[in-house]
Structure 1
Amino acid sequence: LLSYQQAVANKPEFNWFEYTAPIPRVLGAQWLLDYPLHKLIATIDWTPFFITWDLVGKYPSIFEDATVGEAARQLFDDAQAMLEKIVNEQWLTAKAAFGFWPANQVDDDDIQLFADEHRSEPLAKLHQLRQQQQTNAGKPNLSLADFIAPLNSNVVDYIGAFVVTVDQTPGKQSTEAFEAAGDDYSSIMMKALADRLVESFAEHLHLRVRTEYWGYAEDENLGNDELIREKYRGVRPAPGYPACPDHSEKATIFKLLEAEQKLGVTLTESFAMHPAASVSGLYFSHPNSQYFGIKKIGEDQLQSLAARKGQTGPALQKWLRPLLD
């Protein structure tokens, strides 16, 4: 590992003076409280659905597989039949919270959000981690904060955040009712479809963000395979994933978006989201923004993060243990 100072010194160099950040069409938080489920079917990524059932293979070529093809086809047909009922009888409800705020990078690895365009009133701070491994010659040590213009650059920049959830509609068919009737297959199927729908909602909403709500890629025209392969400008990293492994950052996102009050999505003590079919994350629009893995960090970075978050090293260690070298 490099020292944390060395890693910071090896951040990517962007020419911020020639950069103009796209301005979101509406600033602050907004909510979509009963999103039409039928709009989420086209962007479903079916490959992970089969993995849930221990059938490995890419969709749709999995149907041609000599070993699992027939089972996959049967399962898929059952899924389509249930999906039709879920949509037509509204067994599930899709809800989203998302928003955009003026933001700048501060202290190398933090992102300061501001209440409005005057940038005089700090609203919240998102704390990021930086790759600390020795990199190949010329490769930078990345942090998500790198993709937001530094405060001292005087560039006006923005960040977005989102929470999407697909929950059982009260009074409609439920997984519990299936289980009570001894129909575990349908219960697992319903949970698996809720998972696919919420991931699809995250994809679908990000598409609308890029083309409409933030609007920096109005002319984007990608097929579903290209969406799954992330061929678009911008990223939506989720806390708990490789680029931002600190699950506790979800608390800031939830507060900004009033996710609990507006959507009924809650965080457990270990920062898991409830209902389980929920996804949260950040939106970055910079053309160079990308996904990467933090992998390992040193004690020096842990202490820096603890100081910036106003916590103690041991308290943070609990969340970041897998990263500590």
Structure 2
Amino acid sequence: EGLRLMDALIGVKRGLPGAKLPELKQRRVRATAPAQVVERPQDEGQARSDVAVDNPVPAPPFWGTRVVKGIQLKEYASWLDETALFRGQWGLTKDLIETEGRPRLRGLLDRLQTGNLLEAAVVHGYFPCVSKGDDLIVLDERGNERTRFTFPRQDRGRRLCLADFFRPEESGETDMVGLQVVTVGSRIGEETARLFESNSYRDYLELHGLSVQLAEALAEYWHARVRSELGIAAGDPGSLDGMFRTEYQGCRYSLGYPACPDLEDRAKIADLLRPERIGVHLSEEFQLHPEQSTDAIVVHHPEASYFNAGGRS
């Protein structure tokens, strides 16, 4: 639909006969009853879920952070989620994927290679930590608090909270959390901006969609590297579809999603990882720049999975 709108816009701009913008659609809003506030006992919000606290804690290969630059496209291109690209980003119907989607994808990947438009890099690290209630507390090498993240908890069901996947402070044991920021660099963003300014909207939308999915592919690839480093990759599925369904141990939580919705936590990750070393910076609105970058909290717990902290498991 976005591509059709851009085509119509270009036609109007160029004065093509019969070109016009589509009529605005009326938004239909379903009437809803006022929300009712349900009072809960004060201590109910503090109850921990039933997540196990006796799982093995893997030993990381190092403590602190490391920077990896110069990652080649061939290393992470196989992690590209083609369904998300073709159907989600490009809006292709199933019958057009083979005839239009794959040839376009091959051409764009070749263009990125020959044009040297990718600067894939990662900064990641492992940190000692414990949990306390809804908080994940990151520790320094002496066991003192360095920073903490406060996550929402489900108000029904299993009452999951991301902090539950780490050893509670009262256990006297120390856990480990991984953090990562990945980027495919700023050059590809500069190229998509150039296409937009030159009114090449279709090329812009296709290249922009691909660049976003390549950043996700890099994040998935690096998460697999982390699982291997931690010695928990033995159960990884043999197919890429299984990987996209997270049929492996642990989970990668990106900021802004239901389990960790507070974008301001990006400042804490940036303080720990210093992603400016790979050219990634935070805006005043806590957005990552370049846009083709992602951050994540990496959890090793076997029960870790994606969940909605608004109440549903």
The alignment's TM-score, normalised by the length of structure 1, stands at 0.77
Question: C-alpha displacement at 1:293, in angstroms?
Answer: 0.7
CA distance in 2 between counterparts of 1:282 and 1:205 reads 12
Give 3-state SS (helix, strand or coil) of 1:242's partner.
coil
Matches within 5 A, 1:201-280: 201-212=218-229, 214-218=230-234, 220=236, 222-259=238-275, 261-280=276-295
1:159: Cα distance to partner? Answer: 0.5
Offset, 1:72 = 6.2
Q: CA deviation at 1:153?
A: 0.3
Residue 304 of structure 2 is aligned with which of 286, 289, 304? Answer: 289
- The code of the aligned residue for 1:44 comes to L
TM-aligned CA deviation for residue 270 of structure 1 = 2.0
> Which has the greater radius of gyration?
2
2:253 is paired with a residue of what secondary structure? coil
Counterpart-to-counterpart distance in 2, 1:53 and 1:77: 13
1:47 to 60, 76, 83: 83
Identity of aligned residues (%): 27
| Paired AA for residue 163 in structure 1 | V
Taking structure 1 as reference, are residues 145 and 112 closer, same or farther at Cα in structure 2, changes over 3 Å only? same
Distance, in Å, in 1 between the alignment partners of 2:176 and 2:43 is 26
Aligned residues: 273
Q: C-alpha separation between the residues in 2 aligned to 1:256 and 1:276?
A: 20
Contact 2:235 2:248 in 1 (8 A): no
Do the aligned residues in 2 keep the contact of 1:167 with 1:194 (CA within 8 Å)?
no
Note if contact 1:236-1:281 (Cα within 8 Å) is conserved in structure 2: yes
Residue 65 of structure 2 aligns with which residue? 29
1:52 CA displacement: 1.9
Q: Is the 8 A contact 2:237 2:243 kept in 1?
A: no
Amino acid at match of 1:141: R
Assess, with a 3 A threshold, how the Cα gap between structure 1 residues 266 and 239 changes in structure 2: closer, same or farther.
same
| Partner Cα distance (1:130, 1:28) in 2 | 28
| CA contact 1:55–1:72 (8 Å) conserved in 2 | no
| TM-score of the aligned structures, taking structure 2 as reference length | 0.80
CA RMSD, 1 decimal: 2.3
Q: 1:144 to 1:4 in 2, by over 3 A?
A: farther
CA change 1:177–1:270 in 2 (3 A) is: closer
Structure 2 portions without partners, runs of 5+? 1-37
**From 117, 123, 126, the counterpart of 1:97:** 123
Structure 2 contact 183–290 (Cα < 8 Å) conserved: yes
1:219, CA displacement in angstroms? Answer: 6.2
> Which residue in 1 is equivalent to 2:74?
38
Q: 1:12 touches 1:146 (CA, 8 Å); kept in 2?
A: yes
